Amino acid sequence: MPVANQTIIPQHCQEAIRNMMLRESTTVTDVPFEVTDYKEVIQLWELYKGTNELHGIVSEKYSESGETRLKELFEMHKTGKDHVFMYISRLMSETLLLCKIGNLYVNIIMPIPDFTQGFDTLHNRNLIATFC
């Protein structure tokens, strides 16, 4: 399993993430933003996690609807049950997994999973798939 922020992911988290990813996604949603570096999303998440605020931080890069959607996703990530958000930006060859297991948040950047191959429409969209 990949490492998150140079930290080894605890075994119970690896298993929970794997089990959720083996299930069918509960939602797949187009999002009105794209990035060329997933570290940007992780930095925004860390900011939101600590302040519950994004206003003014992302307005230069994202539209108002993009900022609103990002804030909604981060709020679900912060307060929701265990889950994996798989974010695919059409500009990237990898995916970002934003995972919540118990009170632990794990961020993983990895190749786009094989199960998305053959779905060309996924690779030309900015989307988030949710796994629970």
Report pLDDT digits (tens) over 51-107: 998 866 665 666 777 788 888 999 999 998 999 999 999 888 899 999 999 999 999
Residue 99 located in a structural domain: yes
Choose between 66 and 108: higher pLDDT.
108
- Closest CA relative to residue 81, chosen from 109, 49, 96, 103: 103
**Looking at per-residue confidence, does 25 or 66 come out higher?**
25
Enter the DSSP assignment of 122. Answer: G
Residues pairing with 108 in the sheet = 97
Is the residue at 41 inside a domain? yes
Per-residue pLDDT for 12 more than 70? yes
Q: Which residue would you say has higher pLDDT here, 34 or 57?
A: 34
Contact 100, 82 (CB under 8 A): yes
pLDDT at residue number 81: 95
3-state class (DSSP) for residue 123: helix
Residue 5 lies in a domain: no
Residue 121 lies in a domain: yes
Q: What is the pLDDT of residue 3?
A: 43
Judged against a pLDDT cut of 50, whether residue 1 lies above it is answered with: no
State the residue range of the domain holding 30: 11-131
Question: Would residue 3 count as lying in a domain?
Answer: no
In a domain, 96, yes or no: yes
Residue 48 has what pLDDT?
A: 93
Q: What is residue 57's predicted lDDT score, i.e. its pLDDT? A: 64
Is 35 contained in some domain?
yes
Please report where in the chains the tokens 């933003």 appear, as a residue: 33
The answer to whether residue 95 sits within a structural domain is yes
pTM of the full structure: 0.85
Predicted confidence at residue 115, as pLDDT, reads: 60
Eight-class DSSP state of 14? H
Q: How many domains does the chain have?
A: 1
